[in-house]
Homo-oligomer: A and B are copies of this chain.
Amino acid sequence: MDKKLIEPKLLKGFRDQLPNAMLQKKKMIAKLENTFESFGFAPIDTPVLEFTEILLGKGGEETDKQLYRFLDNGKRDVTMRYDLTVPLARFTAQHYNELGMPFKAYHIDKVWRGENTHRGRYREFYQCDFDILGTSSNFSDVEIGSLIYTAIKNLIGSDDFVIRINNRKVLNALMQKLGIQDKTVEVLRVVDKIYKQSRDKVIDELNKKVGLSNEQIQEVLNFIDIKGSNSEILEKLETLFADFEYAKEGIENLKEFHSLFTAMGIPEKCYQFDLSIARGLDYYTGTVFETMLLNLPELGSICSGGRYDNLAELYTTNKIPGVGASIGLDRLSDGLELDFSVSTPAEVLILNMDRNYKAEYLKIAQELRLANIKTELFTDDKKLDKQLKYANRKGFKFVLMLGSNEFENNLVTLKDMSNGALEKVQRDKLLDFFSK
Separation in Å of the A314 CB from the closest CB of chain B?
5
Looking at A131-139, A228-236, A293-301, the stretch in contact with chain B turns out to be A131-139
Separation in Å of the A122 CB from the closest CB of chain B?
10
Residue of B nearest to A38 (CB): B369
**A10: chain B residues within 8 A (beta carbon):** 47, 50, 94
Q: Mark A368-380, 1 if CB is under 8 A from B, else 0.
A: 0100101111111
**Distance between Cα atoms of A58 and B275 in the complex (Å):** 57
Report A270-301 residues with CB < 8 Å from chain B CB: none
**A74: chain B residues within 8 A (beta carbon):** 12, 114
The answer to whether residues A49 and B124 also contact, given A366-B264, A374-B40, A380-B134 and a CB cut-off of 8 A, is: yes
Interface secondary structure of A, over-half rule: mixed
A344 interface residue per 8 A CB criterion: yes
A9 interface residue per 8 A CB criterion: yes
**A44: chain B residues within 8 A (beta carbon):** 16-19, 22
Q: Mark A67-80, 1 if CB is under 8 A from B, else 0.
A: 01011111010101
The answer to whether residues A47 and B9 also contact, given A40-B376, A99-B18, A263-B362 and a CB cut-off of 8 A, is: no
**Distance between Cα atoms of A314 and B7 in the complex (Å):** 9
**Contacting pair A345 B43 (CB below 8 A):** yes
**Contacting pair A45 B73 (CB below 8 A):** no
**Distance between Cα atoms of A124 and B45 in the complex (Å):** 12
Residue of B nearest to A377 (CB): B143
The answer to whether residues A22 and B45 also contact, given A114-B73, A140-B380, A393-B100 and a CB cut-off of 8 A, is: yes
The answer to whether residues A263 and B73 also contact, given A139-B379, A317-B5, A377-B143 and a CB cut-off of 8 A, is: no
Report A14-39 residues with CB < 8 Å from chain B CB: 14-19, 22-23, 25-26, 33, 37-39
**Contacting pair A359 B263 (CB below 8 A):** yes
The answer to whether residues A344 and B102 also contact, given A49-B68, A110-B48, A142-B362 and a CB cut-off of 8 A, is: no
**A365: chain B residues within 8 A (beta carbon):** 39
**Contacting pair A375 B39 (CB below 8 A):** yes
**A393: chain B residues within 8 A (beta carbon):** 100
Residue of B nearest to A96 (CB): B8
**Contacting pair B78 A73 (CB below 8 A):** no
The answer to whether residues A37 and B346 also contact, given A18-B44, A376-B104 and a CB cut-off of 8 A, is: yes
**Distance between Cα atoms of A379 and B71 in the complex (Å):** 43
A241 interface residue per 8 A CB criterion: no
**A345: chain B residues within 8 A (beta carbon):** 37, 40-43
A246 interface residue per 8 A CB criterion: no
The answer to whether residues A376 and B78 also contact, given A49-B11, A93-B8, A366-B264 and a CB cut-off of 8 A, is: no
**A376: chain B residues within 8 A (beta carbon):** 39-40, 104
**Distance between Cα atoms of A92 and B354 in the complex (Å):** 29
**A100: chain B residues within 8 A (beta carbon):** 390, 393-394
**A43: chain B residues within 8 A (beta carbon):** 17, 19, 22-23, 26, 345
**A314: chain B residues within 8 A (beta carbon):** 5-6
Q: Which of B26, B94, B312 contacts A9 (CB 8 A)?
A: B94
**A-B CB contact pairs (8 Å), 23 listed:** A6-B54, A10-B47, A10-B50, A11-B51, A11-B72, A14-B47, A14-B49, A15-B47, A16-B94, A17-B46, A18-B95, A19-B42, A19-B43, A40-B344, A41-B345, A70-B70, A73-B114, A102-B390, A134-B380, A139-B358, A139-B379, A146-B366, A263-B363
A contact residues vs B (CB 8 Å cutoff): 1, 5-12, 14-19, 22-23, 25-26, 33, 37-51, 53-54, 65-66, 68, 70-74, 76, 78, 80, 90-91, 93-95, 98-102, 104-105, 110, 112, 114, 124, 132, 134-135, 137, 139-140, 142-143, 146, 150, 256, 259-260, 263-264, 312, 314-317, 343-346, 349, 352, 358-360, 362-363, 365-366, 369, 372, 374-381, 390, 393-394
Q: Given contacts A40-B346, A47-B124, list 12 more A-B pairs with CB under 8 A.
A: A8-B312, A9-B94, A11-B50, A15-B47, A26-B33, A37-B346, A40-B344, A41-B345, A68-B73, A143-B379, A146-B366, A260-B362
Ordered nearest first, which 4 A-B pairs have the shortest CB separation?
A40-B376, A70-B70, A19-B42, A40-B346
